[in-house]
A and B are shown apart, each in its own frame.
Chain A
Amino acid sequence: MSEALFNHQTVDLRKSTIRDLNTVLQSEDVTGSWEVRHPDGRHSIAVGLTAPIDVTIEGQVGYYACGMNQRANLTIKGNAGPGVAENMMSGSVHVEGNASMAAGATGHGGLLVIDGDAGARCGISMKGIDIVVRGSVGHMSGFMAQSGALVVCGDAGEALGDSLYEAKIFVRGEVKSLGADCEEKTMTEEDLDILRNILEKSGITEYDATTFRRYGSGRRLYNFHVDNASAY
């Protein structure tokens, strides 16, 4: 990697390759704040970061942007393609536009905030990440979600929380339909505390936690039922 890139902290993707960008952002001694210009919808921008740096991407990103993030705080000033912030461990990703399908998929930790809408399968198989969508989410969101919280300020599409494990889903608007074994739960004080905390750290002040409804697992599906033993 050139000296110039280290010093300037700005990378123009019309002049550098994705590999160059990711190499510098993934390096052990990287510090400070970074700006990525002209992303033009390219894939795998700013993935696999491990240092607590700030990265701003000035435009639209393609597949798997900001994936596998640890500790970095990333902002996308545009729309994101499929799999944004997939498999995040910690840190945060903020999408100022809309996100395509499978946003925040399989994330273990950290915070993903989407200012617009998210497409299908938002938070699929999430394992501890918190995902906040100011708009609506598409069908099969929270599919097989294991842990963490999915907060939707708008509406949810068909089959929300299908085959859900122990992730908590909060929706403020309409839910088109619930997936298998997903059911509405009573909002407890503990749930409200969790939701208030997530809204606060996402900078959302316009919605009160009490205006959301909470969905969770009916726990009828994810353990083997002994009555089915004769099938084998």
Chain B
Amino acid sequence: MCGIVGLFLKNPELQNKLGILTAQMLKTMTERGPDSAGFAVYGGKLHGRTKITVRGVTDALRADVEAKILSLADGATFSHRCDHLVIVCLTDVAPAIREMVQSYGQGLAIASSGDSIELYKGVGLPEEVASRFGLADMSGTHAIGHTRMATESAVTTAGAHPFSTGPDQCLVHNGSLSNHNTLRRQLVREGLKFETENDSEVAAGYLSWRLSQGEKLDGALTASLSDLDGFYTFVVGTRDGFAVLRDPVACKPAVMVETDDYVAFASEYRAFADLPGIENATVFEPEPQRVYHWEHAA
């Protein structure tokens, strides 16, 4: 069991409430996943610059990490929330920063990178994780969150969702995949690198690989119906929107709501209870094997 929430805002006036609404939804899904939680928040688009979220940057390491980044990327800017450091730098120096972080050791890891995504996750009750990173104060265009009850791999920050395996991409998963080891080996041969033994990371990697081959998100998701074996409800975030897919058996719950102001996804209806105007909204259950996709105009 796990809990998933997603909120895609159509009405720009709600953007400064994205964090608080997502935090409330995440907290409601605690019973579905009390061991760890995470969320990706999308907001704004950078031109010629890249935003990198690095996790594991403790107070003791921060000064050194920032100095090393500045030596590679003059003019890079930093903001930090707990042990997650968000770096904004010129896009052409981003690969050097990634390389530095990956070779730094001491628990540093790239959480996400892209034009718009920031990604935070950690071990603990969802409410604690959300308050640790100050989710309630965040604003943006859309957000995806996950509360985890681990089944396939360890309860660690790296094993928490979302998983980001491509630029501005992230995936959250409720379910369990049965062919993830085979698929991971195939994807490794294609040049992908995986950080964990987690099945959901393989699903994220699979989609990133498809997208890197030039496929569109809905096409990549449709292909996953034949290549991924197991139970899943996926919510996938991209720079401009999010998508939902359920496996053919559809035993993992999913409910959606669409109003003039937003589209929201959750594992259970009760996560919607605090959304504005929910009393009169159209609530529906996404059908199995059908890709649902919402995007902001680019």
A residues whose Cβ falls under 8 Å from a Cβ of B = 40-43, 59-60, 62-63, 79, 81-82, 97-98, 100-101, 119-120, 138-139
Contacts of A138 in B (CB 8 A): 250, 287-288
Chain B contact surface mostly: loop
Question: Which of A40, A60, A97, A101 meets B251, CB within 8 Å?
Answer: A101
- Expressed in whole angstroms, the Cα–Cα distance for A79 and B272 within the complex equals 13
B253 touches A60 (CB 8 A): no
B250 touches A41 (CB 8 A): no
- Given A40-B270, A41-B268, A41-B273, A100:B288 Cβ within 8 A: no
B285 touches A100 (CB 8 A): yes
A58 to chain B minimum Cβ distance, whole angstroms, is 10
Contacts of A100 in B (CB 8 A): 253, 255, 285
Q: Which residue of B lies closest to A100 (CB)?
A: B285
A120 touches B273 (CB 8 A): no
Contacts of B250 in A (CB 8 A): 101, 119-120, 138-139
B226 to chain A minimum Cβ distance, whole angstroms, is 16
A120 touches B255 (CB 8 A): no
- Expressed in whole angstroms, the Cα–Cα distance for A81 and B273 within the complex equals 14
Q: Which residue of B lies closest to A121 (CB)?
A: B251
Contacts of B104 in A (CB 8 A): none
Q: Which residue of B lies closest to A102 (CB)?
A: B251
- Given A100-B253, A101-B250, A79:B269 Cβ within 8 A: yes
The 5 closest A-B pairs by CB, nearest first: A41-B270, A41-B269, A40-B273, A60-B269, A119-B285
Is B194 interfacial (CB 8 A cutoff)?
A: no
Contacts of B288 in A (CB 8 A): 120, 138-139
Contacts of B287 in A (CB 8 A): 138
19 additional contacts (CB under 8 A) given A119-B250, A120-B251, A138-B250: A41-B268, A41-B270, A41-B271, A41-B273, A42-B270, A59-B279, A79-B269, A79-B283, A81-B253, A81-B268, A81-B269, A82-B253, A97-B283, A98-B283, A100-B253, A100-B285, A119-B285, A120-B249, A138-B288
